[in-house]
Amino acid sequence: MTGIPNLGAILSPDADPDRTVLWDYAAGDPPRAWSAGELDGLANGLARGLLKRGLKRGDSIAVLAANRAEFVALYFGAMRAGIVVVPVNWKLAAETVALIVEDAEAKLIFVDEDRARLAPAGVPRILFGSADWEALPDPGAFEPITPEPDEPAQILYTSGSTGRPKGVPLSHRGQHWMVQVVSKGDNSQHRLIVAAPMYHMNALFNLKFAFLNRAQVILQPVFTAESYVKAIIDHQATWLTCVPTMMAMVANHLGDGPRPAEFDGVTRLFMGSSPYSQALVDRVRALFPNARITNGYGTTEAGAAVYGPHPDGIPTPDEALGYPIPEGETRLVARDGSVVDGVGEGILQMRNPATMQGYRHMPEKTATALRDGGWYHSGDVVRRDENGFHYFVGREDDMFVCGGENIWPAEVERLLESHPAISQAVVVPVPDDVKQKLPVAFVTLREGESLSEEAVKQWTIERGPAYQHPRHVFFVPAIPLAGTNKIDRNGLTRQAAELAAARNSSRT
């Protein structure tokens, strides 16, 4: 195949179709092992079957299901035929799911049994494992289409937690570039866990990375700390992929108990999609002493290939995102749009082959997100140090003003998590008649620890500006997660306002 690579062809049997490429825990425990030939054959059969059913190049299909091998085969198989795959966040409300399916103009929806109720009426559906599913594949060879320069392979939708979800069409060319540019050396000996949901860039990127590099995937339908730890042990996993909250839950699950000996075999650990603290890095390093811990930064709109090691070999600081890779472009801009040079902070903008062409059916939001000739305006405030490393400061829209002072929740969270008794902390604002907004903290404690609200407040007052200290501290057994396994910050903001109001009323 010449020209632009088809993203679906990343899944390939190569010269060894019998080698195991995936263990599927959706099939049970022990998981079902899939060979390269089996998975590739199913992908080809599904490509042929979708076309035989009447779908054509450029049509889209939606998938509303937890991770499973059949989802993987459908994802790669559909793209081979030029059919656009739309993985849908099944933690959204049914009304929002219906908006996504309508916006994507999906001709067919694939569902699993637990999520079938979310599928909107009026669009044909196929249930994984049903007779309709078994009849769909048309076994045989299939030659993947050669994509046009900006032909979409998939559409991912933003979470929609603060409004209507935005559809992000992502091209074969850009997504293939993104995976290829971070693939260095021989990684075929590695076994990596994918437990993030397949409607999120984190899981899809890691699947493509593994298949392109001939590594093996341990696929979990959903994340739980217990099953994640068991999979590391059972498969002697060497690379771990996760978002920071998942790793914090693993540390909490293990507590002060013995560290499994199999953890010594982990050599790389990618924590991406949201920032993390030095305290979490220290806990993770104690669990996985031989692992190189990488802060993986990326966005749906501009991809996951943004940062890498320093070109001069300077070690990357634990909390740094990394050094901008030379294959892509990054810049920091001030709020007035001027470019920030040298040491300083600004809003991160990116431009590379993986950057979207625009949001689907949203020209006004596209104009806000893509600026000055295709620079994607991330909304992430980033600091650059004297060595050129970038550090996450906070979301442009997360910053709030308390009595005339700017507060970045991420800074307060890092300070709170430096306390030896605190496992995780989330800081959100609540309205205040005098100060405009006040910081409030939700805190989880490490196993066996106890702490008073006053002690938490005092910790921050003694170690940071007094205006940053949380005026209320709520202790919770676990931090609630949104659909992408990130912290449900919007839900906590609503909850904080209710709890703070109830406290204030009880004092009057």
Instruction: Give 299's DSSP letter.
Output: B
Q: pTM for the full model?
A: 0.85
Mean per-residue pLDDT over the chain, rounded: 91
pLDDT of residue 193: 95
pLDDT of residue 2: 60
The candidate with the shortest Cα–Cα distance to 355, out of 175, 207, 203, is 175
- pLDDT band, very low/low/confident/very high, at 319 (cuts 50, 70, 90): confident
127-168 pLDDT, tens digit per residue, is: 999 999 999 999 999 999 999 999 999 999 986 545 689 999
Tally Cβ neighbours within 10 Å of residue 116.
16
Q: Name the least confident of 18-27, 43-52, 106-115, 474-483.
A: 474-483
Mean pLDDT over 258-284 rounds to 85
Two tokens at 386? 């004297």
- Decide if pLDDT at 508 tops 80: no
**Computed from CA positions of residues 336, 338, 339, 344, in that sequence, does the dihedral angle turn out positive or negative?**
negative
Instruction: Choose which CATH entry (3.30.160.60, 3.90.480.10, 2.30.38.10, 2.160.10.10) describes domain 319-395.
Output: 2.30.38.10
Tell me the chain's radius of gyration from C-alpha atoms: 23
**Percent of the chain whose pLDDT exceeds 70:** 97
383-400 pLDDT, tens digit per residue, is: 999 999 999 888 888 888
Q: Name the least confident of 49-58, 111-120, 218-227, 264-273.
A: 264-273
59-96 pLDDT, tens digit per residue, is: 999 999 999 999 999 999 999 999 999 999 998 889 99
7-222 carries CATH number 2.60.40.10: no
- Decide if pLDDT at 15 tops 90: no
pLDDT of residue 252: 85
Mean pLDDT over 30-56 rounds to 97
The candidate with the shortest Cα–Cα distance to 476, out of 283, 252, 161, 247, is 252
- pLDDT band, very low/low/confident/very high, at 1 (cuts 50, 70, 90): very low
Helix 409-417 vs helix 453-463: crossing angle, to nearest 10? 110
**Percent of the chain whose pLDDT exceeds 90:** 69
Distance, CA of 259 to CA of 215 (rounded, Å) = 26
Distance, CA of 97 to CA of 275 (rounded, Å) = 28
320-367 pLDDT, tens digit per residue, is: 999 999 999 999 999 888 999 999 999 999 999 999 999 999 999 999
Is residue 33 helix, strand or coil? strand
The candidate with the shortest Cα–Cα distance to 483, out of 203, 148, 260, is 203
Tally Cβ neighbours within 10 Å of residue 282.
12
400-507 carries CATH number 3.50.90.10: no
443-473 pLDDT, tens digit per residue, is: 999 888 899 999 999 999 998 888 889 999 9
Q: What are the domain boundaries of the chain?
A: 7-222, 319-395, 400-507
- Decide if pLDDT at 274 tops 80: no
- pLDDT band, very low/low/confident/very high, at 485 (cuts 50, 70, 90): low
Complete DSSP assignment for 435-457: TEEEEEEEEEEPTT----HHHHH
Mean pLDDT over 221-237 rounds to 95
- Decide if pLDDT at 187 tops 80: yes
Distance, CA of 152 to CA of 147 (rounded, Å) = 8
